[in-house]
Structure 1
Amino acid sequence: MTTVVKRTVTALATTSILALSATAATADTWRYAFEEALEDVQGVFAQKFKEEVEANSDHQVQLFPYGTLGESADTMEQAQAGILQFVDQSPGFTGSLIPEAQVFFVPYLLPQDTEALGEFFRTSKAVNEMFPELYAEQGLELLTMFPEGEVCVTTQEPVTEPADLNEVKVRVMTNPLLVESYQAFGATPTPLPWGEVYGALQTGIIQGQENPMFWNWSANMYEVSEVITCLGHSNFTTAVMANKEFYDGLSGDEQQVVQDAIDVAFDHIINYQQGLHEESIEKIKEAKPEIEINVLSEEQRQPFIEAGEKVEDRFVEMTGDSGKAILDQMKADLEAVTE
Structure 2
Amino acid sequence: MAHAQTWRFALEEVDGSVQDAYAKEFKKRIEKKANGDVRVEIYPYGSLGTSSELTELLQQNAIQLAFASPGHLASLIPETGVFTLHFLFSDDNAVNEKVLGSSKAIGMLEEAYGEQNLELLGVIPEGWMAWTADRRIQTPKDMKGLKIRTMASPILIESYRAYGANPVPMPYSEVYSGLELEQIDGQVNPIFAIEEMGFYDVQDYLIQAKQAQFITTLVAAEDFYANLPDDRRQMLGEVAESMRSYIFDKQARFNEERLEAIRQDSNIQISTLSEEQRDAFREMSMPVRDIFIERAGERGKRILDTLEKDIQAAEQAAVE
The interval holding the TM-score normalised by the smaller chain is over 0.9
Report if aligned partners of 2:4, 2:39 keep a CA contact under 8 Å in 1: no
Structure 2 counterpart of 1:149: 127
Structure 2 counterpart of 1:231: 209
**AA at the equivalent of 2:26:** F
Are 1:332 and 2:303 an aligned pair?
no
Are 1:182 and 2:160 an aligned pair?
yes
**AA at the equivalent of 2:171:** P
Structure 2 counterpart of 1:44: 21
Task: Give distance in 2, aligned partners of 1:34 and 1:235.
Answer: 18
Please state how far the C-alpha of 1:114 moved relative to its aligned partner. Answer: 2.5
**AA at the equivalent of 1:59:** V
Q: Report percent identity of matched pairs.
A: 37
Map Cα deviations across residues 283-307 of structure 1 (whole Å, 9 max, x no partner).
101010x210111001111221111
Please state how far the C-alpha of 1:124 moved relative to its aligned partner. Answer: 1.2
Tell me: CA distance 1:275–1:59, structure 2 relative to 1, closer, same or farther (3 Å). Answer: closer
Aligned counterparts, 1:271-286, within 5 A = 271-286=249-264
Please state how far the C-alpha of 1:163 moved relative to its aligned partner. Answer: 1.2
Task: Give distance in 2, aligned partners of 1:59 and 1:273.
Answer: 27
TM-score where L is the length of structure 1:
0.90
Structure 2 counterpart of 1:15: none
Task: Give distance in 1, aligned partners of 2:252 and 2:284.
Answer: 30
Choose from 91, 108, 116 the match for 1:112.
91
Structure 2 counterpart of 1:295: 272
Report if aligned partners of 1:45, 1:266 keep a CA contact under 8 Å in 2: no
SS state of the match for residue 52, structure 1? helix
Task: Give distance in 2, aligned partners of 1:239 and 1:124.
Answer: 15
**AA at the equivalent of 2:32:** A
Please state how far the C-alpha of 1:275 moved relative to its aligned partner. Answer: 3.9
Structure 2 counterpart of 1:28: 5
Task: Give distance in 2, aligned partners of 1:46 and 1:178.
Answer: 26
Report if aligned partners of 1:107, 1:234 keep a CA contact under 8 Å in 2: yes
TM-score where L is the length of structure 2:
0.95
Q: How many residues align?
A: 312
Alignment gaps of 5+ in structure 2 = none
Structure 2 counterpart of 1:263: 241
**AA at the equivalent of 1:116:** V
Tell me: CA distance 1:186–1:61, structure 2 relative to 1, closer, same or farther (3 Å). Answer: same
Task: Give distance in 1, aligned partners of 2:156 and 2:275.
Answer: 22
Please state how far the C-alpha of 1:315 moved relative to its aligned partner. Answer: 1.0
SS state of the match for residue 294, structure 1? strand
Are 1:56 and 2:46 an aligned pair?
no
Structure 1 counterpart of 2:200: 222
Are 1:305 and 2:276 an aligned pair?
no
Task: Give distance in 1, aligned partners of 2:59 and 2:69.
Answer: 15
Please state how far the C-alpha of 1:144 moved relative to its aligned partner. Answer: 0.3
Task: Give distance in 2, aligned partners of 1:102 and 1:296.
Answer: 24
Report if aligned partners of 1:126, 1:333 keep a CA contact under 8 Å in 2: no
Map Cα deviations across residues 11-69 of structure 1 (whole Å, 9 max, x no partner).
xxxxxxxxxxxxxxx87111000111232111111111111110011100000010111
Please state how far the C-alpha of 1:320 moved relative to its aligned partner. Answer: 2.1
**AA at the equivalent of 2:40:** V
**AA at the equivalent of 2:15:** L
Are 1:200 and 2:178 an aligned pair?
yes
Task: Give distance in 2, aligned partners of 1:193 and 1:42.
Answer: 18
Task: Give distance in 2, aligned partners of 1:185 and 1:38.
Answer: 34
Please state how far the C-alpha of 1:234 moved relative to its aligned partner. Answer: 0.2
RMSD: 1.2
Structure 1 counterpart of 2:229: 251
Alignment gaps of 5+ in structure 1 = 1-25
Please state how far the C-alpha of 1:113 moved relative to its aligned partner. Answer: 2.5
**AA at the equivalent of 1:267:** S
